[in-house]
Structure 1
């Protein structure tokens, strides 16, 4: 059996639905189908943002927005000038979904439920008569003279234009390699660090704004750092893991993390500050009250790690102890042994080499009428709605290209 369509979209996720809806809204005569290998579509949308769906981010300037993408920064500048976060908000509003901005810039539906986004996509797809075909696992792709043939475990489809939105699916990447595309191998991008260290052993749940570096590399990030029972997490760590995805994979996730708990204070500035405190608080016990803006229990732990006992008074600190303490505060070294996946929001770095894509149209430079959107490309971002924004932008541009 051969089912004919004008456009086939492989992958029933965010990018796939957004592309399909935008295509048929522009031209209702086009026959479009979405093929999904699983029995459910939009499953990543459902769990995103803890089930609330972090639709986009309140960063409205394309040149600023691209800075959140460790891979794709240069390539997305043009596309974001065509369809940016502001356009996303407007699109969803037109489709009956209002979004709200949280303090950290993340944007969610006002309903606080990802179901709102799923319903929005389903209703639009139904109204536009887009076929949603589940349990269709693609087995092969074939390019004819002026058509594409897609064979699944169920049947064979043919179409004039083929859109691939399958995320990080190794089987599909393999098929695209056979068509001549190069794949940058996939490595995890957003992950937390496994650290066993007595300085943080009983401090689960404590958070501090810190600067973190990977020793002997240029990798560096700042942001809230959260101490967990397996090590360290939080935005600062996730940012570092995203920018360092390749380097840290090469190190097999064994490396030394340098933490400056005072974020922007240098060792020298901190030492000066400690000397002042020694004069000001001479009669007080060092470990009792943290003079900096981070939790007391963490301060106590770093004081002990500097070889200063619990009841030592400021006046009694030796030069050596002051140096040790300044060092623990601004350059504590922690051995990282392995990583843990961050929630269910598994993001990978890797995918189709960006040099093989025309970012004005999202079309393959190797094959006419073959388009890509979303995480199938070697594009990924930190958390905060940026990966979805890449999906919306790619889908919008494909729709515009195909229908114009």
Structure 2
């Protein structure tokens, strides 16, 4: 009989176990991991560098990065948040650094540093880590919880589920009465074959991106959007946009994918985006500026005279898409061509056809219904002595270390609640 069994050998599972064992060393704790390796997602996160958290130290602002879970996380983040995460790792010999965009990494730039820290701590604290232990069933009995794996059966007083997006575990929870929000992908990039971004992978620039209701978009995507003033976007993000071999990526696109996870799933990932490559301008403002350029730079060719701050390869593609030829001079282009250019730069409508996973960092929106969890303890409101941590819950975040912070905080809150009762 274990005091606590944690199902899931990932970030949330290990952090829960470590916090439990540190607070109450006498507890008998086991982690059950279905695979042959633990902490797999930690290993590949942040391009192998492990983005452990984000330098947002105000809980009220920190929760704004969670499309699902914002309200529920506010209380827990007043107890354990980014600063506490940093203190934990520093205390255990992992030096951290804050990068310009606020992401926090180990100074070593290696996720192995985090993995080694966790493995050393669990070993030192006497936590049993049982690999190749895929859970097939669990149920509450008179003695506590009984957990069956493909090889063995275990008993424990308290059960913690930190299994991430695991459909088998969700199905068992459904059978036990919990509501599971259907999982859909979050954090993905947009596939787009438009000629205006074709052949220029690697180009990155700040832009604003809007998504409108599907039936409100123009059928032609090379002309200025008419009636734009009467339309309100249902999704909006700004920041760096990266053009890739398959379409669009970068922080602004990933924000849209997170906030629009369910909507874009409903659209079957076929929709249109409107990109303003010059976010400091609107159409009318840029058109006025281009008229001035036409007067001043009249004898120069449009293609070679990049009048604004956008990457040259993108400028070349958008000039061509405006119906302006290679040899055309500013003085020679007509009113329609100038309007086309202003529209391509500020209201560039692109058709999206499908998505791609963002690196290997597969994140889903979905999981245990948040109304069925007490976020003071992360305990199930429906089943006794059952706790949740990490992505098993219907909580997810934009990229930048926020999903890991949710795992650390959940683990801390669960450990605190359990050690107060055992």
Provide TM-score, normalisation by structure 2.
Answer: 0.93
Confirm whether residue 90 of structure 1 aligns to residue 87 of structure 2.
yes
Please give the per-residue CA displacement for 1:159-191, whole angstroms capped at 9, x wherever unaligned.
111000000000000000011111111111011
Q: d(CA) in 1 for partners of 2:312 and 2:202?
A: 13
Which among 11, 14, 21 is matched to residue 11 of structure 2?
14
- After the TM superposition, which residues 120-139 of structure 1 pair with which residues of structure 2 at under 5 Å, given as runs? 120-139=117-136
Size of the aligned set, in residue pairs, is: 401
Please give the per-residue CA displacement for 1:320-365, whole angstroms capped at 9, x wherever unaligned.
1111111111111111111111110111111111111111111111
Which among 141, 144, 147 is matched to residue 147 of structure 1?
144
* Residue 376 of structure 1, CA deviation: 0.4
* Residue 318 of structure 1, CA deviation: 1.5
In the alignment, is the contact (CA less than 8 A) between 1:88 and 1:392 conserved in 2? yes
Q: d(CA) in 2 for partners of 1:346 and 1:23?
A: 28
* Residue 401 of structure 1, CA deviation: 0.8
Confirm whether residue 350 of structure 1 aligns to residue 350 of structure 2.
no
Which among 382, 396, 400 is matched to residue 412 of structure 2?
396
Q: d(CA) in 1 for partners of 2:309 and 2:66?
A: 30
Which among 104, 109, 119 is matched to residue 101 of structure 2?
104
Q: d(CA) in 1 for partners of 2:307 and 2:163?
A: 51
Confirm whether residue 312 of structure 1 aligns to residue 328 of structure 2.
yes
Confirm whether residue 42 of structure 1 aligns to residue 39 of structure 2.
yes
Aligned residue number for residue 365 of structure 1: 381
Aligned residue number for residue 119 of structure 1: 116
* Residue 214 of structure 1, CA deviation: 1.5
Which among 2, 14, 34 is matched to residue 5 of structure 1?
2
Structure 1 ranges of 4+ moved more than 6 A: none
* Residue 122 of structure 1, CA deviation: 0.8
Which among 182, 186, 189 is matched to residue 189 of structure 1?
186
Specify every segment of 5 or more residues in structure 2 that has no aligned partner in the other structure, as ranges. Answer: 214-232
Q: d(CA) in 1 for partners of 2:296 and 2:74?
A: 52
After alignment, is 336-345 or 284-293 more displaced?
284-293
* Residue 291 of structure 1, CA deviation: 2.0
Aligned residue number for residue 219 of structure 2: none
Q: d(CA) in 2 for partners of 1:61 and 1:146?
A: 42
* Residue 289 of structure 1, CA deviation: 2.5
In the alignment, is the contact (CA less than 8 A) between 1:259 and 1:332 conserved in 2? yes
RMSD: 1.0
Which among 222, 228, 249 is matched to residue 238 of structure 2?
222
Which among 237, 242, 247 is matched to residue 231 of structure 1?
247
Q: Secondary structure at the match of 2:172?
A: helix
Aligned residue number for residue 224 of structure 2: none
In the alignment, is the contact (CA less than 8 A) between 1:210 and 1:223 conserved in 2? yes
Q: Secondary structure at the match of 1:34?
A: strand
Q: Secondary structure at the match of 1:141?
A: strand
Aligned residue number for residue 384 of structure 1: 400
In the alignment, is the contact (CA less than 8 A) between 1:289 and 1:296 conserved in 2? no
Confirm whether residue 156 of structure 1 aligns to residue 153 of structure 2.
yes
* Residue 146 of structure 1, CA deviation: 4.9
Q: d(CA) in 2 for partners of 1:167 and 1:109?
A: 23
Q: d(CA) in 2 for partners of 1:52 and 1:197?
A: 33
Confirm whether residue 30 of structure 1 aligns to residue 27 of structure 2.
yes
After alignment, is 272-281 or 79-88 more displaced?
272-281
In the alignment, is the contact (CA less than 8 A) between 1:211 and 1:264 conserved in 2? no
Please give the per-residue CA displacement for 1:241-276, whole angstroms capped at 9, x wherever unaligned.
111110001000001111110124111111111111
Q: Secondary structure at the match of 1:242?
A: helix
* Residue 234 of structure 1, CA deviation: 1.0
Q: d(CA) in 2 for partners of 1:327 and 1:121?
A: 53
Aligned residue number for residue 391 of structure 2: 375
